[in-house]
Structure 1
Amino acid sequence: MSLELTDWDKDLPSQADEEYQALVRTLNFTEGFGLLFVRCSPAGGEQLITKVKADISNKNIQVLRLQQAVSNLYEIIDNLDNKSEINVLFITGLEHSFYEYEECKSLTGWNSKDIYSYSWKGVPPVLINLNQQRERLKDNFNICFVFLLPIFAIKYFIQRAPDFFDWRSGLFEFPIDSETLEQESLRVIQEGDYDRYLTLTPEERTKEILRVQELIVEENQTPKRQCDLLINLEILHLVGQNYKEMIKSFDKALSIQPDDYETWSNRGTALFGLGHYEEALTSYDKALSIQPDYHEAWKNRGLVLFNLGYNAEALASYDKALSIQPDDHEAWNNRGNLLGNLGRNEKAITSYDKALSIHPEYYQAWYNRGVALYDLGHNEEAIASFDKALSIQQDKHEAWNNRGNALSKLERYEETLNSYDKALCIKPDLHQACYNRGIALWNLGRNEEAIASFNKALEFKPDLHQAWYNKACCYALQDNIEQTLENLQQAINISPDEYREKAKTDTDFDNIRHDERFQALIQG
């Protein structure tokens, strides 16, 4: 039976305090080459080294502390000045060489074959080196090597370097003492908030995940702390958007504390992230069966129902959430979005206004309010809303683009161009802004520039039939019959009935209307 790296909660066999005496006896009896593995925390490893040095005085005991990832451990040992005099060499920090692999397998979407096979892709270079150099390690060094490692790193040896690991003379385990375990667990629980985890780099987050996992399975860990640590693990996976691992953590927590409504709700959020809406709804409903007034579950339930197309039920969920917590500006904003999608823009604006009365600097509500006003044809007010949104966040291309649309309705084309240019500075491949910019230029009679903008839009979206048609219009106004026919043909290829009918009455084609090729094209 193989031991998978991701089965972090399936602990290795544990022994009691006599483990230390067994380690000392092994070190005393080992002459020449030896290979030992010790599972312990970094702090526990340092304490262990100090104690061993005090208890074994007849041997030369040295420590190799690795501070970063390495690829050639044999070379590092071979370069030690006093290697011929060393009897016991403790090696700490080798786990640094595994962090990026632990991170990669979760972030790059490896399939199970990639993760668990012995291919180069899944084997850290240092383990390849140890596998290749194991005979030389034994022949060239009369040293007993003692690797001090956390459990996840020991499992890398088991899974990725089994031939080397099988040479071991012993495997020893030193769980954290109860007092230290309590202190370390409480520190992680208290410091493990979402905002702090957001500041971590992917590698730092991986280290934290592994640390929390180790604390969960430590001997003497209490069920209450296990559950709290599992919540920390959930948050870490949430930050990394690793929803599948989140759900595993939630299920473990719920097996310990099945009536934890917050965990049921968070499980729903993870399922929502995976697009499993029906299962997410079941989790939210379970949370609400335990705590009927849990505002967060009602709000998220509304979002799930909206994605399922159950608009009336979604609206009822938002209303319930707001009856419990009426100052939730996000819920008011989401309620407005739902009403907008139902075509009830006046009521949507009322919801956005409520959100803004609670949080006046809420960009999303100002932006959504602008969209609703634009849909109602209130373009001046829409522009004011977009301006307010952009005063809060200037780098939002969608607000600049929609501001341009509202200005275009008011025929303020020069200002329109400025808005579209701002949008394209932020997102150069925004085909809508390229196309809309072309329309503004066409309205200004700047046909060559309009054609260039339409071409840019078509680079990003070749099937944008409106751009093909409007290019044809621009060329027709220039009496360029060949380009007119070529571009009109492209538009008709995509949407035949629409553009044949449109071209029959479009005055832009009056200069070429009697051309036989044009007539043949629009008649089909």
Structure 2
Amino acid sequence: MNSSRKPLHPHSQRNLSSEIGPFIALNQEIFAELLTFVDFAEKFTIGFVEINFPPDAEILVEALKTNPECRDIQFIALNFPDANLRFLRDEIVKILPTIEAERSRGFNKKLVLIVQGLEKSIGVYGDYPPVLQDLNFVRDAYKRTVPHPILFILPDYALTRLAKFAPDFWAWQSGMFRFQTPQVTKDYAINEAQNTERIIDRLEPPEKQERIDLLHRLLMEYKPTGHQVTGENLHNYSNILHQLGLAYLSKRKPMNAKEYLEEAEKIVNEFQDPTFHAEVLNTLGDSYRQQRQFDTASAYYQKSLSISQQLQNPRGEIAALLKLGNVYLGLRQFTQATTFYQQCLEIEQQIGDRYSSARTYHNMGIVAQKLRKFKKARRNYQQALAIFIEFVDRYSQALTYHCLGALAEAEENYAEARVHLQTALEIYVEYKDEYRGAIAREALERLQVHLDGNKPPI
């Protein structure tokens, strides 16, 4: 992972002590209740702490460790971020013997465990997470093997799933503490959710999952479990739903994307923002196109196009027309695809949108190549490539170099094909796109057979 990238969570470099005061001031009453809980808790006792963002959890842990009322308590923070974790108790039992007891006033301090990161293995969708199945099953064993109070710090959605899928363990709780999110944390997360500069398709898989995690946490800020979203929060809430849809589509999970996009589409009419409505419809169409339900996808794109035309919004028209062209390209109805791409290109040229026209030229090149109109395909690819180079869009350059390589291979110009595919591969490696990189490597291996003068294997 690129270490220079901007972190998706705030407070990456900070002085925790300076943030304790504002956080506790916001949550003074609930923090006092938590202090009472840890003071009286003995042996195996469960407390659940609801905090939606990890940076705030770190502030809370530091506040507990440094609070004068806790001078006789030893807090041990345990982090379990493994999404495949199943046997939590076994992991805790392994750690307990390694903890060196601290002493206060001649006695060992009371040990209180703080469990964090469990939301990764709990997940946000699906049935019966293995970690919760096991948590419920071995509940009684905790009394004997983990004889200490435990605080579980989890976001709203993870606590809801824990209560649902581990009801026996949940029933043993002795305290539930819900902390409010400071505005600085909320503002940062909102800014990230609305950050259009971040191109989700080009993020590495861990960063994509990190963004999804951030969006789910932010979603809980606007719609906590058991509450409804109303008034001015509707717009931000629907935007987060839309961003979640985009994020899941980038991971090729259209069913998950559709769930959030359909909810966004239901509420988008409650406020006057038809431009955003058109965007949601386009993305909802993408979720059906990924499932190869082209007729349904086309219907959503057409509805989006109609809204943009009514608004006289050329950029909205461009987005819908390009997607309609892609639908018919997927259906191999090349004449209809060309019609939509040509309409798209005309609008781009009218408003002087050279960058967007590169995508259109690229897709028109694909259509021409499918029709074996190789000269026309090459001309379109080269026009697209020139614009991508002009705008320093290296990743898009790779896609066009890849197509130029496939075109040269179809024309049996294997040396030229290798040059283009090698260039594409180098950029894929640069952007850590393993999927397309593997396709490029396979094509290069196939070309090498021709270049060596051998027939390709049958």
TM-score by length of 2: 0.67
Matched, 1:200 2:204: yes
Q: Which amino acid aligns with 1:282?
A: A
Question: What secondary structure, in the 3-state scheme, does the structure 2 residue paired with 1:190 have?
Answer: coil
Give the alignment of 1:57-456 within 5 angstroms: 57=69, 60-68=72-80, 69=82, 71-82=90-101, 85-87=108-110, 89-95=112-118, 99=120, 102=123, 115-117=126-128, 122-123=130-131, 127=135, 131=139, 133-137=141-145, 141=147, 143-155=148-160, 157-190=162-195, 193-194=198-199, 198-202=202-206, 204-219=207-222, 222-258=233-269, 259=274, 260=276, 261-292=278-309, 293=314, 294-326=317-349, 327=354, 328-342=357-371, 347-348=376-377, 351-352=380-381, 354-355=383-384, 358=387, 362-364=400-402, 366-367=404-405, 370=408, 374=411, 383=413, 387-394=415-422, 426=442, 456=457
Question: Which structure's CA Rg is the greater one?
Answer: 1
- Pairwise CA distance, 1:317: 0.6
Asked if structure 2 preserves the Cα contact closer than 8 Å seen for 1:88 and 1:145, the reply is: no
TM-score normalised by L of structure 1: 0.59
Within 2, Cα distance between the matches of 1:433 and 1:72?
Answer: 50
Name the CA distance, whole Å, in 2 between partners of 1:348 and 1:130.
Answer: 63
> Secondary structure in 2 aligned to 1:116?
coil
- Give the alignment's Cα RMSD to 1 decimal: 4.2
Residue type of the alignment partner of 1:174: F
SS at match of 1:82: coil
| 1:64/1:90 contact within 8 Å kept | yes
Task: Tell me the amino acid that sits aligned with residue 99 of structure 1.
Answer: K
Does the 8 A contact of 1:32 with 1:87 survive in 2? Answer: no
- Cα distance in structure 1, aligned partners of 2:358 and 2:280: 23
Q: Which runs of 5+ in 2 are unaligned?
A: 1-25, 83-87, 224-228, 390-396, 426-438
Q: Which moved more, 1:327-336 or 1:261-270?
A: 327-336
Q: How does 1:497-516 map to 2 (within 5 A)?
A: none
For 1:42 and 1:357, the matched residues in 2 are separated by 44
Q: Is the 8 A contact 2:212 2:244 kept in 1?
A: yes
Counterparts of 1:470-485 in structure 2, within 5 Å, are none
Aligned residues of 1:72 and 1:125 also touching (Cα < 8 A): no
Question: SS of the counterpart of 1:313?
Answer: helix
Shift of 1:186: 1.6
Q: What is the alpha-carbon distance in structure 1 between the residues aligned to residue 168 and residue 142 of structure 2?
A: 9
Distance 1:31 1:359 in 2: 64
SS at match of 1:35: strand
Tell me the secondary structure at the aligned position of residue 100 of structure 2. coil
Q: CA deviation at 1:50?
A: 4.7
Q: Structure 2: how far apart are the matches of 1:255 and 1:305? A: 27
Change in Cα spacing, 1:89 to 1:351, as seen in structure 2 (3 Å) is same
Return the alpha-carbon distance in structure 2 between the equivalents of residues 24 and 217 of structure 1.
25
* Range moving further from structure 2, 298-307 or 58-67: 58-67
Cα distance in 1 for partners of 2:208, 2:441 equals 33
Partner-residue secondary structure (3-state), 2:112? strand
- Alignment CA distance shift 1:390-1:57 (3 Å): same
- Contact between 1:268 and 1:279, CA under 8 Å: does it hold in 2? yes
Structure 2 CA distance for partners of 1:388 and 1:124, relative to 1, 3 Å: farther
User: Is the 8 Å Cα contact of residues 39 and 148 (structure 1) preserved in structure 2?
Assistant: yes
Contact residue 305 and residue 320 of structure 2 kept, 8 A: yes
Separation in 1, partners of 2:375, 2:66: 79
The answer on whether the counterparts of 2:246 and 2:283 sit within 8 Å (CA) in structure 1 is no
Paired residue type of 1:212:
L
The CA deviation string for residues 360-379 of structure 1, in whole angstroms up to 9 with x for no partner, is 7642453465478x4xxxxx
SS at match of 2:177: strand
Sort the Cα spacing of 1:133 and 1:265 in 2 relative to 1 into closer, same or farther, 3 A: same
Aligned residues: 373
Deviation at 1:132, TM superposition (A): 6.0
Task: Give the partner amino acid of 2:199.
Answer: Y
Gaps of 5+ in 1: 1-14, 107-114, 375-381, 398-422, 442-452, 458-524
- Displacement of 1:90 in angstroms is 4.5
Change (3 A) 1:180 1:341: closer
Residue type matched to 1:392 in 2?
Answer: H
Query: How do 1:12-91 residues align onto structure 2 when only pairs under 5 Å count?
Result: 18-40=29-51, 41-52=53-64, 57=69, 60-68=72-80, 69=82, 71-82=90-101, 85-87=108-110, 89-91=112-114
**SS of equivalent to 1:147:** strand
